[in-house]
Structure 1
Amino acid sequence: MQTITDTVQTKQSTEESFLETFKNDVQKGLSESPKTLSSKYFYDKIGDALFVEIMNLPEYYLTRSEHDIFKNKTQELIEGFGIDPNSYFELIELGAGDGMKTKELLKVLEAQKYNFDYVPIDFSSNALTLLEANLALELPNVSVRTQQGDYFEVLASLKENRKPKVILFLGSNIGNMSDAMAAEFVYNLGANLQVGDKLLIGVDLIKAKEIVLPAYNDSKGVTANFNLNLLERINHDLGGDFNRNNFQHLPEYDEDEGIARSAIVSTIKQKVTIKALAQSFEFEAGEKIHTEISRKYNDVLMAQIIAKTDFSIETKILDSKNYFADYILTRK
């Protein structure tokens, strides 16, 4: 049995490992040309709260669209998973966040007496702690096993039990990757699953600029705050001296390409020092730090993404406005 001391030590080890990875990624990204910072580091305690605020903004249609599917087409999702109510399975969510959409599914699975464990995986320990506490209140009979860390490391550890699995990758998070990276990501997921396991991938569909761009440039400036908070996180965790007043949020969307991009732009020529790296970085006025892409999809692009993977598309479920799609794939 794991003692309290063991638990504390494990948590400390996880946090130390995370900070080391964060440090290395920041050093690498800010040394590149053009400079980059990974969007996965948006999500600290402040970032988590800001993203919840973003999800409730009128401009941010993505969450509402997928929530529409999970709330109003729940049975269609369950049928797409092809799961037996009497057979145990693991429902694993990659990047679970606050679990708002997934709760709609959990409610129905519980009501219909499906036999499963819910395994939310997230980089953010804060998000997992809040989610676990919330589920204990709202759905106390659902078995929850939170897992903090890298998706593939956690999946590799879960692979050993050889239990049937349904993987959820929601929110068009796959759109934060290049097409090549997305194809590799899905391939690697397949390597950690068994034949017959299911993978649900939620994707934002290609739409007009008038719909897409405001989702990344809201009138209240919450998205700008969310993007710029990454600089504050570097200051806090790595001893940086970024002055966020000298940087601006810059969103762009190319409708023909189907990709939205976010960047942090230096408004002046400046130098930033990060103590944990014992290194300084020069910025020109107008120089961008690329933080995120958000690819939009259609059937052709999805087919290309999975072409060299071990998955086949079983079904596609749309929201009421046809803004968003949840593709359910089967591991071959």
Structure 2
Amino acid sequence: MTQMTGNERLRFYAMSVQSHRQTFARDVAHGLAAPQKCLPPKYFYDERGSQLYEQICNLPEYYPYRSERDIFIAHASEMHAEIESLALVEFGSGSATKTRHLLAVYERAGRPFTYCPVDISSTMLRETAAELLRAYRHVTVHALHADFTGRPDVVRRLPLEKKALVFFGSSLGNFTREESAVFLRRTAAIMGPEDVFLLGIDLKKSPEILVPAYDDAQGVTAAFNLNVLHRMNRELGGQFDVRTFEHVALYNDEQGRIEMHLRSRQAQQVPIAGIEQVVSFAAGETIHTENSYKYTVDDVRELGHHANLVLRRTWFDPQRYFLLALFRPL
């Protein structure tokens, strides 16, 4: 559905809210019935979750945001030179805080340009679009409210001939290795010969740096993780007593990933009316809520190769904690 907004520089493309809720219910029913209970991390990002994530980005322990931001500050003009005037399509745009360094270069060029944020949070999309229209007089915003995680081809709904697809924040690391490969292949399949793909990736480093980034001293990440229980209570009629669960973050060296879990402090049964189930938890049993895989530069090059994408440019922060990689189709 395309919604006109009364502003000629803004169009809003919305998925069905009912369909999204049905998908949420299905994923909860499937995930909480698995031998290792699990939930897709995309469900962190309701309105409250998106606000908490913005707070996480300002935490002293959370280096990924600062590292990627520093790359933009130092190299946004070089990125723009590669992208030129292509419409910018951002998967998981959120508040587009870091992306604004790149949008500012577009604006300084003094020519009309198009930015297409794609996000699962309708509220965040609308707020961000309004801010960008105030900040940049040359921008046109085509906002797409959609779940892109398994289907990057949802961007076909946007009326674009050529595009620069961007996926920042190392969000690809939330996918399993297999899901990452599928996502990149599907992304490559929607790219034309002149399109580009700019990908943010968190690089492998010491667990002493990694773990605190996902288990901060102020407990904001814990609140972010626990928020998914509040969401199930609110949207699916769950009866979780959130106080009986705790946030857990650990580094799985064998898999090369940070894992986040919600651990039940006691044996309990939780009715969830929206999926017509009562979910049983043993004391100490967990819901696996997020993976965050870490990569080497060679890993990133190989991921692209298997998706028929060629790594053309790389940019790093001064500590080489983070990588922005520019791909072009084969």
- Give the TM bin, normalised by the shorter chain: over 0.9
Letter in 2 for 1:104: H
Question: 88, 103, 107: which one pairs with 1:106?
Answer: 103
Question: 279, 282, 285: which one pairs with 2:283?
Answer: 285
Shift of 1:69: 1.1
Letter in 2 for 1:308: H
Letter in 2 for 1:103: R
Distance verdict in 2 for CA 1:2–1:257, change over 3 Å = closer
Of Structure 1 and Structure 2, the greater helix share is in 1
Shift of 1:262: 0.4
Deviation per CA, 1:153-188, whole angstroms, max 9, x where unpaired? 522323xx5611101100000000111110110000
Which residue number in structure 2 is paired with residue 311 of structure 1?
A: 309
Which residue number in structure 1 is paired with residue 19 of structure 2?
A: 17
Q: Extract structure 1 runs of 4+ deviating beyond 2 A.
A: 1-4, 113-116, 150-154, 254-258
| 3-state DSSP of counterpart to 1:100 | coil
Counterpart CA distance in 2 for 1:295 and 1:46 is: 25
Within 5 Å, give how 1:1-332 maps onto structure 2: 14-81=16-83, 83=84, 85=85, 89-151=86-148, 152-158=152-158, 161=159, 163-255=161-253, 257-332=255-330
> Is the 2:203–2:297 contact (alpha carbons within 8 Å) kept by the matching residues of 1?
no
Letter in 2 for 1:39: P
Shift of 1:307: 2.8
| 3-state DSSP of counterpart to 1:307 | helix
Deviation per CA, 1:23-45, whole angstroms, max 9, x where unpaired? 10100100111010110000111
Counterpart CA distance in 2 for 1:132 and 1:96 is: 10
Which residue number in structure 2 is paired with residue 7 of structure 1?
A: none
| 3-state DSSP of counterpart to 2:16 | helix
Unaligned runs of 5+ in 2: 6-12
TM-score if structure 1 supplies the norm length?
Answer: 0.92
Distance verdict in 2 for CA 1:115–1:310, change over 3 Å = farther
Deviation per CA, 1:177-216, whole angstroms, max 9, x where unpaired? 1111101100001111212310011000101111111100
Counterpart CA distance in 2 for 1:208 and 1:3 is: 49
Distance verdict in 2 for CA 1:77–1:264, change over 3 Å = same
Shift of 1:256: 6.1
Number of residues paired by the alignment?
319
Unaligned runs of 5+ in 1: 5-9
Distance verdict in 2 for CA 1:318–1:256, change over 3 Å = farther
| 3-state DSSP of counterpart to 1:321 | coil
Counterpart CA distance in 2 for 1:316 and 1:30 is: 40
